[in-house]
């Protein structure tokens, strides 16, 4: 239970320090960030969650969702302003495609 609400997992984002994925009955997992040269940090957190939710809605494991979120945040950090158009979700899944 998290805040008296049943949840499957809690993901805590830590900016350049990566993210931690915590699930009941499991050891916490750490999703490290990759070093990128940020051009614009505005919206990077929102970008993480958009990548995470995209993978979640596609039925991926929650840890893989966090990897997809990291990839989307990396894309956003390296782009000034809003992202133009759509991001191909296959790019988001590069970190774990071969594992599934």
pLDDT tens digit sequence for 31-86: 898 889 999 999 999 999 999 999 999 999 888 999 999 999 999 999 999 987 88
Cα-only R_g, the chain: 14
Residues with catalytic roles: 46
CATH tag, 9-99: 3.40.1190.20
Q: Is the dihedral of CA 34, 55, 10, 22 positive or negative?
A: negative
What is the pTM for the complete model shown? 0.84
């Amino acid at each position: 239970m998290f805040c008296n609400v049943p949840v499957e997992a809690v993901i805590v984002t830590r900016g350049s320090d990566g993210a931690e994925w915590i699930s009941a009955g499991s050891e916490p997992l750490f999703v490290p960030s990759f070093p990128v040269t940020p051009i614009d940090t505005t919206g990077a957190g929102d970008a993480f969650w958009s990548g995470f939710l995209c993978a979640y809605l596609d039925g991926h494991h929650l840890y893989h969702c966090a990897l997809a979120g990291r990839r989307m945040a990396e894309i956003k950090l390296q782009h000034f302003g809003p992202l133009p158009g759509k991001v191909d979700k296959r790019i988001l899944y590069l970190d774990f495609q071969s594992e599934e």
